Chain A
Amino acid sequence: MGLAKRIIPCLDVTNGRVVKGVNFLELRDAGDPVEIAKRYDEQGADELTFLDITASSDNRGLILHIIEEVASQVFIPLTVGGGVREVEDVRRLLNAGADKVSINTTAVLNPQMVKAAADRFGSQCIVVAIDAKKVENQPFEWEVFTHGGRKATGLDAVKWAEYMVSLGAGELLVTSMDRDGTKIGFNNPLNKAISDAVEVPLIASGGVGNLQHLVDGVKEGGADAVLAASIFHYGEYTVKQAKEYMAKHGIEVRL
């Protein structure tokens, strides 16, 4: 037996609360981040990801307090993303107790920031988040989008992933914008194309509606880890049920 595939519940946090949207819109309240983090830890989550989607800069500091509180009670890896613009933001999040920091829009606007952060803190704590969408009007299949999926960049998602790894990204969090919140499953061809192109682990995100989708994400999409939010937040499945289902389908997990 060897390395287990990871299950990562994702907590979208705004103004100190966990919320979940559909296609990046229509936010619903899902609860208190510290309580939810503790619950997932008890259920056997391998890691937790917090995405700060707070719009107003006034409330940005809230995420630091949440991470501090979670990190003193939950002893599994914590990744934090959302609004990370400078190397200084990375430092603040790591000091608050994050183990990894996820960089998204800023990586597109200023790729050298990824390199600077990886050089300073090590690739092991730099995750680059890629939001991709299938496109018809480009010489490639999947395009990178930024600003929560609103802005097209003209970048080929697979080439972009390779470039980010060359600058020092230690892991990639790939979200299919077409699938996010739809519950029809991951975009496995997209994930497979990126996973095959890079040496670092890939976290699949966007579209999980049932436990078979998690299995498909690993088997068809080549994901090293699968991320999901709504199937866990609303109590449809526990993390433990998800792991038992994956194990039953021949995927090595931590039980």
Chain B
Amino acid sequence: MSKIDIAVVDYGMGNLRSVSKALEHVAPTKNVLVTSNPDDIAQAERVVFPGQGAMPDCIRELDARGLREAVIAAALNKPFLGICIGLQMLFEHSEEGNAAGLGVFKGNVKRFAAEDMFDSEGAKLKVPHMGWNQVYQAGAKPHALWQGIEDGARFYYVHSYYVQPDDAAIIAGYSTYPNKFTCAVAKNNLFAVQFHPEKSADAGLQLLSNFVNWSPS
């Protein structure tokens, strides 16, 4: 069996084609495998953990395929990129369906509160938060995955829930809608984002390229 450079975790929730296509575009020589086999995830050099839909369904489907342990092990041990629900699932709990997450990080996933959804001029803000918003980089020192990406660059979002980490030290980026929310977390070998790099044109491709070439110290 050929070496797996990048495993994209497939637990049957929606379409992973966008993610794998974008990875193939930035890393044409790498073997990108969309897989629901825990052994592939264990063997892969890098793991991408995407997600869309509702978090309770994602957790259920992940467990139905016996992927929980392999994903947690990868999140703790090798270059790992979570995207959208793949970020949210790393936390302990989500307000969406009152679901328990994987608990890699302490903290909760919360819904944009209806009473807050007005801009500074009083106009209504829609939920889901859908479209291109500015991402501000955070953290004690510049993270390798932000390399070549302007602070405040726009990325494409579509979500109604956001993560609230207990440990502020893992916050690697934030956006505002209308309040500041965490859109990226980082710890050791792990980086996870709320936006969709695979749909964020040049900035997104740069982030994926940074991930493919990342050697966490």
* Residues of A that sit less than 8 Å from B by CB: 1-6, 41, 46, 71-72, 75-77, 94-97, 99, 121-125, 170-171, 195-196, 199-202, 222, 224-225, 254
Chain A residues touching B, majority SS = loop
Report the bound CA distance from A94 to B15 in whole Å.
6
Nearest-neighbour CB distance to chain A for B36, whole angstroms, equals 16
Beta-carbon contact of A4 and B128 below 8 Å = no
Number of B interface residues at 8 Å Cβ cutoff, please give it: 41
- Let me know if B125 and A97 touch, CB within 8 A: no
The 10 closest A-B pairs by CB, nearest first: A122-B53, A94-B15, A254-B132, A254-B154, A201-B126, A4-B132, A124-B158, A3-B133, A201-B130, A77-B199
Residue of B15, B25, B123, B154 touching A4 (CB-CB under 8 A)? B154
Q: Determine which residue in B17, B124, B125, B200 has the highest number of CB atoms from chain A within 10 A of its CB, and name it.
A: B17
Known: A2-B178, A77-B199, A122-B54. A71 touches B18 (CB 8 A): yes
Looking at the complex, which one of B25, B53, B131 makes contact with A3 (CB distance below 8 Å)? B131
Is B205 on the interface with A (CB-CB < 8 A)?
Answer: yes
Given the complex of chains A and B, what is the CA–CA distance between A96 and B52 in angstroms? 17
Question: Is the beta-carbon distance between B131 and A46 smaller than 8 angstroms?
Answer: yes
Which of A3, A96, A171, A202 has the most chain B CB atoms inside 10 A of its CB? A3
- At the interface, yes or no: B198 with Cβ under 8 Å from chain A? yes
Do the beta carbons of A122 and B132 come within 8 Å of each other?
no
Give, as a whole number of angstroms, the nearest-CB distance from B22 to chain A: 5
In whole angstroms, how far apart are the Cα atoms of A122 and B55 in the complex? 11
Contact of A72 among B25, B127, B134 (CB under 8 A): B25
Is B21's CB under 8 angstroms from A72's CB?
yes
**Partner among B21, B124, B158 whose Cβ is within 8 Å of the Cβ of A71:** B21
B133 touches A4 (CB 8 A): yes
Shortest distance from the beta carbon of B20 to any chain A beta carbon, whole Å: 10
Contact with A along B98-139 (1 / 0, CB 8 A): 000000000000000000000100011111111111100000
Residues of A within 8 A of B119 (CB): 2
Q: Are B129 and A41 in contact (CB under 8 A)?
A: no
- If A2-B177, A76-B199 touch, does A99 touch B134 (CB 8 Å cutoff)? no
Inter-chain CA distance A99–B6, complex, in Å, is 22
Asked whether, in the complex, the Cβ of A121 is within 8 Å of the Cβ of B131, the reply is no
Could you give 5 example pairs across A and B, Cβ below 8 Å?
Answer: A46-B156, A71-B21, A77-B158, A222-B123, A224-B130
Shortest CB–CB separation between residue B191 and chain A, in angstroms?
19
B18 to chain A, nearest CB (A): 6
**B152 lies within 8 A of chain A by Cβ:** yes
Give Cα A71–Cα B18 distance, bound, in whole angstroms: 7
CB pair A199 B126 closer than 8 Å: yes
CA distance A71 to B199 in the complex (A): 10
Complex contacts, B131 vs chain A, CB 8 Å: 3-6, 46, 201, 224-225
Which residue of A1, A76, A170, A201 is within 8 Å of B201 (Cβ)? A76
B204 within 8 A of A: yes
CB-CB < 8 A to A46: which residues of B? 131-132, 156
Q: Are A199 and B127 in contact (CB under 8 A)?
A: yes
Residue of A95, A97, A224 near B126 (CB, 8 A) is: A224
Chain A residues whose CB sits within 8 angstroms of the CB of B216 once the complex forms: none
**Nearest chain B residue, comparing its CB with the CB of A74:** B201
Contacts of B204 in A (CB 8 A): 75
What is the bound-complex CA distance between A8 and B125, given in angstroms? Answer: 19
B14 at the interface (CB under 8 A from A): yes
CB distance from B139 to the nearest CB of A (A): 20
Contact digits for B22-39, partner A, Cβ 8 Å, 1 yes 0 no: 101100000000000000
- Minimum Cβ distance to chain B for residue A124 (Å): 5
* Further contacts, 15 of them, CB under 8 A, given A170-B130, A195-B124, A201-B128: A1-B176, A2-B133, A3-B133, A6-B131, A71-B18, A75-B25, A76-B200, A77-B199, A97-B18, A121-B15, A122-B53, A125-B14, A201-B126, A224-B130, A254-B154
Cβ of B22: which chain A residues have Cβ within 8 Å of it?
75
Contact B176 A2 (CB under 8 A): yes
